[in-house]
Amino acid sequence: MSNLTLPVIPCATSAFTIPSIFGLSVLKLTATQVKNYTASSPPFYNPNHGETPPVTLDFCNVTITHTHPGQNDAIITQIYLPSKIWNGRLQSIGGGGYIAGLHDYMFVAMDAAIAEGYVTAATNAGLYTTDINGNDADTWALLSPGNVDLNALRNFASASLRDMTLLAKAIIQTYYGQKVKYSYWSGCSNGGRQGMVLAQMYPGLYDGIAACAPGLFWDEWVENYWGQLLMNERGHYPWPCEADALRKFMLDACDALDGANDGILQVPEECGFEARSVLGRKIECPDAGSEVKISETAVLIAEGVWQNRRPADINFQGNAAGYDADLKILGSTSCSNGVCVGDSDPLTLNLMRIFVKKDITWDPRTMTRKGFEDLRQQSVREYRSIIGISDYDLRGFKEAGGKMITYQGTGCGQSDPLVSYKNTLKFYNSVREQDPSVHDYYRVFLAPGLGHAVGGPGAYPNETFHALVEWVENGIAPEELRSTSAPDAVGKTINRVLCAYPKRAIYNGSGDVNDFRSWNCRE
């Protein structure tokens, strides 16, 4: 596609017509010209994308505040429009954690988009929050103790995504004098969940969606507290070094199963390591300043995270993370002066306190196992229809001609125990049950050893977004994504091939494991 030059109108507030969109009312619109701006994105920082070298450019920043009449909300959308060269495309940016989109981290993704000639847009969903873990989410989520602002939650979950997209498309037409040719979404974690929402609820808005490590099944996240519950029940909190040692023992047992002894499990499901086999083993523990023994509690947590051996009297809906998720997240402890205490991940803790108990002062350490099960069920009942998954029908997205790509890390001690790749596969396979042709418009790539979106020792697929564009615009469906890791402490990187699920990359048994040609995609 050839680039378009120079806008039809100047970047001035008075030059823009207030968009008229059913169901919302624009409260304020401002347009500010930004000149000689240097836009870039460092490597391994912008999920779905590679490095974007610095580019100096001018752009028009259109900021819109709108409301849904009767709801007393005020949602901000920012739209960056390249002033001199536009590639005819829109790239909207998703959020992460409890952030809907407009946040320091997401501004880097917006910079990368305009550097490549895209118009880019993001929204705060009307939530004036600054903490990605939700430590200040009560400021928007609670109208008062005991009362959740469900309209604000719906804005966060879905409604603001539609608004932002329609506003951005209207502004594009006004500024450039023509409609956008192709619309793309790029998001990870909560942004990945947002991408799934767009595909399902608003299937005609985006031609292509890159949704990595999607934070699906939000209503089930209470389940992630089970490791803390177990430690509270037992009154014992393992040393962090126990989790590190268990991971090392597991890798010693399973690393070579894929033919490449590289510290990465290519197919984690093939591992059969039993954490109980090292119960009582003495290990060096820098945390304690001495040797300690691997405890029963640490083993129970490992069995639950890796092998789904969780408390039988809890009706878990989500999947255990599998080998070899980070035990130090679900079984997190902090230690001082020889004493360790539980240290719950804030994403789960804030969900329980703010949205389910609706009481920011509630102490989960007082919770019984029955109380935990009641809390889990309450969360599903109250929030599945708002921010969970009620069905798996993507046929509207298919009929609209959309294409979607998801990649997700699977392990090596830094994978997603909170956002498990098994839950992503649960979503994909459930979609496939309804539509066996799902592979024609939605593909999942599992990334062994990769952390949450980026990070970890595994290889990162920095060509994901460009592969999506090729699929949408040229009909070239990606069968594999070539991927490279971030440099380790001594500057070493690894190269791997990621395969479209259900295929996996298999080492051919000879040749350099860092040569892409040494890996083949097979079922």
* 523, 505 contact by CB (below 8 A): no
Per the structure block, which two tokens stand in for 326?
């980070």
CA distances from 327 to 213, 291, 320, 324, 336 (A): 18, 20, 11, 8, 19
Largest CA distance in the chain: 73
* 456, 447 contact by CB (below 8 A): no
Sign of the Cα torsion 476, 481, 487, 492 reads negative
Burial class (CB in 10 A: 0-12, 13-18, 19+), 86: buried
Phi/psi of residue 397, nearest 5 degrees: -65, -40
> Quick one: residue 102, left, alpha or beta (phi over 0 = left, psi -120 to 50 = alpha)?
beta
DSSP line for 452-495:
SSS-SSS-B-TTHHHHHHHHHHH----SEEEEEPPP-TTS---E
Please compute Rg for the chain using Cα positions. 24
Do β-strands 75-82 and 142-144 pair in parallel, antiparallel, or remain unpaired?
unpaired
Nearby residues of 466 by Cβ (< 8 Å), 6 or more positions away? none
Cα–Cα dist 178/17, whole Å: 14
CA distances from 390 to 201, 217, 378, 380, 387 (A): 11, 10, 16, 10, 9
Active centre residues (catalytic):
189, 416, 452
Nearby residues of 432 by Cβ (< 8 Å), 6 or more positions away? 438, 439
Per the structure block, which two tokens stand in for 167?
């506003």
Nearby residues of 121 by Cβ (< 8 Å), 6 or more positions away? 77, 78, 79, 80, 90, 92, 93, 164, 165, 167, 168
